[in-house]
A and B are shown apart, each in its own frame.
Chain A
């Protein structure tokens, strides 16, 4: 196991204060960074190959290198609107080591030449926002933020901005709209935020954990950092494990360890007598994977999970054991996205709504297997047809559940039909893209 970057000393008393953070070697990289050439910092980030920890997994150094050079109003925004179901890593990191985020943001802002920075934190994280605000005040009083930081001539104004409860604001352009005081609707891309973001100025947006990696990358050096983890997935990752496990929580791992070590080793596996039926590898937006040994052996890194047909996302593993009905999970997932769709794009707004309605029909036994095909086609038509990926985030997991557990869905429909006295058997209709994918059956309707 490589060294842990965040969790080794995270419970040291007083680490959330400036003095405590300094005792752990905090703010040592900031003066060194301010002596460096900003371009060299970006080169270190590029060499580290660190990928964004918020969900999309885009290389941070590349994103920073897209920022235009020159004298203009540039902005750095930290995305702390952690709302992806199953994800809670940023909450613990911000609460316990707020100064690491501030140091990382100051270095990143210096590297891209931003003079204003904002931490957009979700409104529900009241305690964490209080901790951050206190930390910002402390840093300002010590001259680590504000004008002429540590005598380098670099100015940075940093504010903590609380959101007000909207999942969509985790999407970077919706976050910018929310930060500008509007309804959080995603924007058309391009222009990308690096060219035209907050207040029409070039803007770099990064996740909390990504920015917290910046001081560590400078301390270790980009190439040394890149040795951690595996190829194309460098460094460590804080994984949030939740659901049907014995010890849910945040665990820092080196990318590329087998998934089994996380779910069974660190989190203790499912309760005794139960087995893992399926798991979300990266928050509720990721397609589910089965809990078979083959998938438990998957290395937990960006590329391996993508190759298996899902995504690492925000690194949130939700474990579903065999006592849970997949129909319930699908309905719960779809309802969440229906509630959180901002309503701007029709495929997402209507697609999420109708998927919920069809899943409710499945639940009450009023559906036929054809509804499963319709749902699959609705999901296909949402993907890639909206401004942002919220609709895709509903379509991918629900579509994968229907694909992987189709027999369970069909059995659920039949059982519910019988319970409701609606008749026995389900009429398969020879229509739709997946017609013929399941065997035809004799249909016997209940006597009227």
Chain B
């Protein structure tokens, strides 16, 4: 590497002529300062209804930053995913940097940081569902959706509906207990724009003591409920998300 100071990667430590470092050279970074420029409102058009929605969220909280998650949801609904445009539009309304919002969006599982199909299907593959065949339902759902770009089928952590295990959240609607055959029905219902499996929706389920005793395991995959180790699709979505 050249010894020319202009080619150095890090800035030089400022020094007095006698060699000592100038005090303050290693002060901590000012974390309250914006680390990047805010998008220019003049060149960043924001749809009026999105702007109104975000401003509504900001008015709810003592600190406007609290509106980050609801606002990103609003932008994701509009754009289909948290695209750079979506992030910039939120940033310009909330007066936050795109870097800050990207950091938030990459932390949470429900924000898509890559373009995805518009039909979102989360299949629970956590313990309680896996004990009843959740992994097989996930495989079946993947093959039912095939390579249709309209579908975004993901294995998800416990969705909090172990009473209807194995279950899935189809565009926010909880359905279960699912069999492998139900997966094709779900995909067909979504394609046709019908209500998804009305008789298996969680919202219609009465309290448990009023239900008949089941035969136990309406599993989709027989007696080997938990899928195999490292190669199984399982919960291993680590690569998709930043930690």
Within 8 A of B (CB), among A329-352: 329, 331-333, 335-336, 338-343, 349
Indicate whether B111 reaches chain A with its CB closer than 8 angstroms.
Answer: yes
* Of B108, B203, B211, the contact of A247 (CB 8 Å cutoff): B211
Determine if B169 and A124 form an interchain contact, defined as CB atoms under 8 angstroms apart: yes
Indicate whether A313 reaches chain B with its CB closer than 8 angstroms.
Answer: no
Q: Please, what's the 1-or-0 string for B149-173, where 1 marks a CB less than 8 Å from any CB in chain A? A: 0000000111111110100010011
Indicate whether A210 reaches chain B with its CB closer than 8 angstroms.
Answer: no
Interface contacts (Cβ under 8 Å), in number, total: 217
Chain B nearest CB from A359 CB (Å) reads: 8
* Of B69, B122, B172, B217, the contact of A127 (CB 8 Å cutoff): B172
Determine if B73 and A164 form an interchain contact, defined as CB atoms under 8 angstroms apart: yes
* Of B122, B209, B213, the contact of A246 (CB 8 Å cutoff): B213
Determine if A244 and B216 form an interchain contact, defined as CB atoms under 8 angstroms apart: yes
Q: Please, what's the 1-or-0 string for A295-338, where 1 marks a CB less than 8 Å from any CB in chain B? A: 00000000000000000000010101001110011011101101
Name the prevailing secondary structure of the B interface residues: loop
Determine if A162 and B70 form an interchain contact, defined as CB atoms under 8 angstroms apart: yes
Which residues of chain B have C-beta atoms less than 8 A from A250's C-beta?
A: 163, 207-208
Determine if B63 and A180 form an interchain contact, defined as CB atoms under 8 angstroms apart: yes
Question: How far, in whole Å, are A88 and B162 apart by their CA atoms in the complex?
Answer: 7
Determine if A164 and B213 form an interchain contact, defined as CB atoms under 8 angstroms apart: no
Chain B nearest CB from A355 CB (Å) reads: 13
Which residues of chain A have C-beta atoms less than 8 A from B60's C-beta?
A: 159
* Of B208, B225, B229, the contact of A248 (CB 8 Å cutoff): B208
Determine if B226 and A328 form an interchain contact, defined as CB atoms under 8 angstroms apart: yes
Indicate whether B186 reaches chain A with its CB closer than 8 angstroms.
Answer: no
* Of B68, B230, B238, the contact of A363 (CB 8 Å cutoff): B230
Question: How far, in whole Å, are A91 and B29 apart by their CA atoms in the complex?
Answer: 43
Counting contact residues on chain B (CB < 8 A from A), the size range is 35 or more
Indicate whether B189 reaches chain A with its CB closer than 8 angstroms.
Answer: no
Q: A85-B158, A247-B208, A247-B214 are in contact. Are A339 and B68 (CB under 8 A)?
A: no
Question: How far, in whole Å, are A59 and B198 apart by their CA atoms in the complex?
Answer: 41
Question: How far, in whole Å, are A341 and B242 apart by their CA atoms in the complex?
Answer: 11
28 contacts across the A-B interface (CB closer than 8 A):
A7-B207, A11-B206, A83-B157, A87-B158, A123-B108, A126-B172, A164-B108, A164-B111, A181-B104, A183-B103, A244-B217, A246-B216, A247-B214, A248-B128, A249-B208, A272-B216, A274-B216, A284-B126, A320-B131, A328-B130, A332-B130, A332-B234, A336-B157, A339-B236, A340-B157, A341-B243, A363-B229, A363-B230
Using A83-B160, A87-B158, A124-B159 as known contacts, list a sample of 18 further A-B pairs with CB atoms less than 8 Å apart, ordered by residue number in A.
A85-B162, A86-B128, A125-B160, A165-B156, A180-B63, A244-B132, A245-B216, A247-B213, A249-B211, A250-B163, A251-B208, A272-B216, A274-B216, A318-B128, A318-B131, A335-B234, A335-B235, A339-B237
